[in-house]
């Protein structure tokens, strides 16, 4: 049963923010491409596949890149962390054409960096 959408918070790690800025220089529609994913998450859905081999609930989802004329498989990959039922952290984003995959250490480091920043505030 989905949680009340108004209670779901979406946060961005510093890594996600940096990657988004870099990709936005090449793909001007990236922010609108991400809107459907964010709305899906806010609605209480968990799109994508859970990443195996990790203790954390991490999910990888494909997002269509409307700046290139190819399907989702050539688009972006967004990795998000289900911190709680009401808090989702967008960990990283990358273009499939640039990066094949992101290693688990990079993901863990991005989450740790976010947690430190959040705890320092």
Name the residue among 1, 78, 89 with its Cα closest to residue 47: 78
The CA distance from 48 to 77, in Å, is 10
Fold of 7-120: YaeB-like fold (3.30.2310)
Task: List residues bridging with 59 in a β-sheet.
Answer: 50, 80
How large a percentage of the chain has pLDDT more than 70? 91
- Give 51's pLDDT tier (boundaries 50, 70, 90): very high
pLDDT recorded at residue 1: 42
Q: How far is CA 55 from CA 1, 75, 78, in A?
A: 23, 27, 18
pTM, rounded to two decimals: 0.88
């Amino acid at each position: 049963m989905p949680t009340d959408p108004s209670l779901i918070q979406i946060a961005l790690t510093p890594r996600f923010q940096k990657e988004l800025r870099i990709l936005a220089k090449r793909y001007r529609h990236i922010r609108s491409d991400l809107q459907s994913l964010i709305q899906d998450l806010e609605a209480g859905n968990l799109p994508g596949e859970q990443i195996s081999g990790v203790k954390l609930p991490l999910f990888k989802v494909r997002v269509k890149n409307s700046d290139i004329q190819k399907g989702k498989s050539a688009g972006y990959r967004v990795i998000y962390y289900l911190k709680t039922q009401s808090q989702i952290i967008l960990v990283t984003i990358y273009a499939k054409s640039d990066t094949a995959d992101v290693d688990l250490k990079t993901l863990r480091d991005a989450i740790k960096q976010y947690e430190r920043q959040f705890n320092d505030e």
